[in-house]
Chain A
Amino acid sequence: MEENKIQQDLSSIRNMMERSSKFISLSGLSGILAGVYALIGAGVAYYLTGRPTPAGLVEGILSIIQNIKYLIEIGFIVLVASIATGFILTYRKAKRKGQSIWGKASRALLFNMSIPILAGGALVIILLYQGGNLGLLLPTTLIFYGLALVNASNFTFTDVKYLGICEIILGLIGACIPGYGLILWAIGFGLLHIIYGSVMYLKYDRESTI
């Protein structure tokens, strides 16, 4: 048994440990696009609800309440577009890497991500029906999305965990300064996704295409 065989054994051990427990075909490019969609969505929402300035804080919140229907529609369109893009690009990357898109790792990833997402979604619906503090709506989506990412990060790239932590922090800041929810939402879902997607693209996607 020579050195070459040992190296091959070790790399196959590492490869199997990683591929069996982590879904490493998430596409970085889809993160960038999701960020772009979110920024466009936030831009449209900003145009519709008007400028939330410190002086117009109350007006800002009022206009958000009045336009809540548009905000929900925009959020929904952004969500669907992001999921569709993510699915298509991830499917292509998984095919290239020879990893099953519906394997044990991807199922664990989806399962662990969906629990906080569903809980957060339910809370948003409850908040809407109670019609109480609607300023907490956008921060709530950020916080639960962040929790979902942290929870899911064990089954994919560890970088996802840091994105999740940033989203949670942004959500909590948003809860402290109502009226700025939309701006923080644009940073969280738009800017952070673009940064994260670019990092992932440079770190993992490019090397796999060589």
Chain B
Amino acid sequence: MKVPFDKLDKAFENRVRLQIMSVLAVNDRYDFNSLKDLLDVTDGNLASHLKGLEKEEYILTIKSFIGRKPNTNYEATEKGKKAFKAHLDVLEALIKNQKSI
């Protein structure tokens, strides 16, 4: 069987993006600061990856205020969840493939 490398989603090639999607797959919503603490990345780095995922329409940005402080939350879209699941399926197939060799 041919290994379906090309089926891996390019959007998830980066580790940080993959981690963001993992978090949003099991949590309805996650806010920017909690994500930053969890992934242990800088503001700029996280923001650019979030923007990348938003461009793919894999996540939604929800801006609100707590008192006067801006609070930005993120949610996975249906498209994003589907893409993430497909990516996991390919990873699984790749591993099975390697084991059978």
Question: Which residues does A use to contact B, with CB under 8 Å?
Answer: 1, 3, 6, 8-10, 12-14, 16-17, 19-21, 98, 100, 103-104
The answer to whether A20 and B22 have CB atoms under 8 Å apart is yes
Specify which chain B residues have a CB less than 8 angstroms from the CB of A16 in the assembled complex: 19, 22-23, 38-39
Q: How large is the interface on B (under 10, 10 to 19, 20 to 34, 35 or more residues)?
A: 20 to 34
Specify which chain A residues have a CB less than 8 angstroms from the CB of B23 in the assembled complex: 16-17, 20
Q: Is B66 an interface residue (CB 8 A)?
A: no
Q: Is B11 an interface residue (CB 8 A)?
A: no
Specify which chain B residues have a CB less than 8 angstroms from the CB of A17 in the assembled complex: 22-23, 25-26
The answer to whether B18 and A9 have CB atoms under 8 Å apart is yes
Q: Is B8 an interface residue (CB 8 A)?
A: yes
Specify which chain B residues have a CB less than 8 angstroms from the CB of A9 in the assembled complex: 15, 18, 91
Specify which chain A residues have a CB less than 8 angstroms from the CB of B27 in the assembled complex: 20-21, 104
Q: Contacts A12-B22, A16-B38 known; A104 to B5 CB distance under 8 Å?
A: no
A98 to B31, CA, bound (A): 19
Within 8 Å by CB of A13, from B8, B19, B31, B34, lies B19
The answer to whether B18 and A3 have CB atoms under 8 Å apart is no
12 residue pairs of the A-B complex, CB under 8 angstroms, read A1-B94, A6-B94, A9-B91, A12-B19, A13-B18, A13-B19, A16-B19, A20-B23, A20-B27, A103-B38, A104-B30, A104-B34
The answer to whether B98 and A21 have CB atoms under 8 Å apart is no
B residues 17-59 with Cβ under 8 Å of A?
18-19, 22-23, 25-27, 30-31, 34, 37-40
Specify which chain A residues have a CB less than 8 angstroms from the CB of B40 in the assembled complex: 98
Q: Which of B23, B30, B38 has the most CB of A within 10 A?
A: B38
Q: Is B86 an interface residue (CB 8 A)?
A: no
Q: Contacts A1-B8, A20-B27, A20-B30 known; A100 to B15 CB distance under 8 Å?
A: no
Shortest Cβ distance from A104 into B: residue:
B34
Specify which chain A residues have a CB less than 8 angstroms from the CB of B62 in the assembled complex: none
Query: What 18 new A-B contacts, CB under 8 Å, besides A12-B18, A16-B39, A100-B37?
Result: A1-B8, A3-B98, A6-B94, A6-B95, A10-B91, A10-B95, A12-B15, A12-B19, A14-B22, A16-B19, A20-B22, A20-B23, A20-B34, A20-B38, A21-B26, A21-B27, A103-B34, A104-B34
Shortest Cβ distance from A14 into B: residue:
B22
CB distance from B9 to the nearest CB of A (A): 12
Specify which chain B residues have a CB less than 8 angstroms from the CB of A10 in the assembled complex: 91, 95
A9 to B16, CA, bound (A): 10
CB distance from B28 to the nearest CB of A (A): 10
CB distance from B50 to the nearest CB of A (A): 15
Specify which chain A residues have a CB less than 8 angstroms from the CB of B94 in the assembled complex: 1, 6
Specify which chain B residues have a CB less than 8 angstroms from the CB of A13 in the assembled complex: 18-19, 22, 88
Specify which chain B residues have a CB less than 8 angstroms from the CB of A104 in the assembled complex: 27, 30-31, 34
Specify which chain B residues have a CB less than 8 angstroms from the CB of A1 in the assembled complex: 5, 8, 94
Specify which chain B residues have a CB less than 8 angstroms from the CB of A21 in the assembled complex: 26-27
